[in-house]
């Protein structure tokens, strides 16, 4: 039986074992997939022991994605390098390799929703790790343009600068959150605003056809405002299934079907 697991701290809440078990049933691949609780100061030791014990692949969650990135040295996919974080590990010739499937997970979920991306104009709000984690797969999905809008404009401008080698001229731009305006196809909230009291407020002057909140399980002022405008909305639960599907594809070579969690 091929051994897989998800490692984090805390980990008891993780739904990854259930998701991978469903993918395994769908595709007829025999595997086990466990939760691993790593002590905060012993992530590397847990990873080493897992692969030494015959483990085939590890998913990594909070708070270890940046440490996983460090452990891989330069054995990273481009999307993991840009993200600065790794959520999918495997070994090849005794060495650890890392990928980040969050962005493709978002693209997978947008496809499942039937929200078009090719030739479309997107706004991503936020310029932190969550945006870094998804930007490359969104660019690769054939969008016409992405504006990274942030409360602090300098962070958005810096991120656009970092991404210049990976984007077409004119495909990426930055903007202060307060000066967003005009009409776009999709707005993605990649801020941590829904964790705070006020939530994300978009300027009234921005019009949009679809609204996606990357977080889930918390009330979202952003999605509430979109609903009031009659705009189709989705939260990040589907992205969780989508990133697991992409990790499954990386490990097993087959992309399983997404489902409602
Ligand atoms: P993460 O790794 O989750 O992206 P982060 O790096 O701390 O976390 O980034 C949080 C993002 O949410 C930032 O873009 C932050 O904006 P600033 O750079 O201006 O701080 C954004 N953010 C947090 N609370 C917000 C709010 N109430 N309204 C708008 N943006 C908010």
List the chain pLDDT tens, one digit each, 261 residues: 899 999 999 999 999 999 999 999 999 999 999 999 999 999 999 999 999 999 999 999 999 999 999 999 999 999 999 999 999 999 999 999 999 999 999 999 999 999 999 999 999 999 999 999 999 999 999 999 999 999 999 999 999 999 999 999 999 999 999 999 999 999 999 999 988 888 999 999 999 999 999 999 889 999 999 999 999 999 999 999 999 999 999 999 999 999 999
Claim to verify: residue 128 and residue 218 sit in the same structural domain:
yes
CA of 214 to the centre of ligand 1 (A): 13
Q: Supply the residue whose CA is at minimum distance from atom 16 of ligand 1.
A: 151
Same domain for 187 and 225, yes or no, is yes
Cα of 16 vs centre of ligand 1, distance in Å, is 26
Of the residues 36, 68, 100, which one is the last residue of a structural domain?
100
Q: What are the structure tokens assigned to 151, written together? A: 């409360």
Would residue 111 count as lying in a domain?
A: yes
Q: 141 lies in which domain range?
A: 103-237
Is 129's C-beta closer than 6 angstroms to any atom of ligand 1?
Answer: yes
Determine how many CB atoms are found less than 10 A away from the CB of residue 19: 24
Q: Do both 89 and 127 map to the same domain? A: no
- Quick check: CB of 15 below 6 Å from ligand 1? no
CATH number of the domain enclosing 82: 3.40.50.10860
Burial class, 204, CB count within 10 angstroms (exposed 0-12 / middle 13-18 / buried 19+) = exposed
Is 255 a member of any domain? no
Residue 110 included in any domain = yes
Q: How many domains does the chain have?
A: 2
Residues 121 and 201 in one domain: yes
- Which parts of 25-103 are beta strand (E)? 31-37, 55-60, 88-92, 95-99
- CATH number where 107 lies: 3.40.50.720
């Amino acid at each position: 039986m091929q051994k897989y697991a998800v490692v984090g701290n805390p980990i008891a809440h993780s739904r990854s074992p259930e998701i991978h078990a469903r993918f395994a049933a769908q595709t007829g691949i025999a595997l086990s997939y466990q939760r691993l609780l790593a002590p905060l100061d012993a992530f590397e030791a847990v990873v080493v022991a897992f692969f030494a014990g015959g483990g085939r692949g590890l998913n990594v969650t909070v708070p270890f994605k940046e440490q996983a990135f460090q452990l891989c040295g330069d054995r990273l996919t481009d999307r993991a390098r840009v993200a600065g974080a790794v959520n999918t590990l495997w070994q090849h010739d005794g060495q650890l390799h890392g990928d980040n499937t969050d962005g493709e997970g978002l693209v997978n979920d947008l496809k499942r929703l039937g929200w078009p991306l090719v030739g479309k104009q997107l706004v991503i709000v936020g310029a932190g790790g969550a945006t870094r984690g998804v930007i490359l797969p969104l660019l690769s999905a054939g969008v016409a343009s992405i504006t990274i809008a942030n409360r602090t404009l300098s962070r958005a401008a810096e991120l656009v600068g970092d991404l210049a080698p990976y984007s077409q001229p004119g495909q990426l731009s930055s903007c202060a959150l307060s000066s967003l305006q005009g009409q776009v196809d999709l707005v993605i909230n990649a801020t941590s605003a829904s964790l705070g009291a006020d939530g994300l407020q978009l300027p009234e002057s921005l019009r949009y056809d679809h609204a996606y909140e990357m977080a889930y399980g918390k009330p979202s002022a952003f999605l509430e405002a979109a609903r009031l405008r009659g705009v189709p909305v989705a939260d990040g639960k589907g992205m969780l299934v989508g990133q697991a599907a992409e990790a499954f594809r990386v490990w097993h070579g087959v992309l399983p079907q997404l489902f409602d969690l």
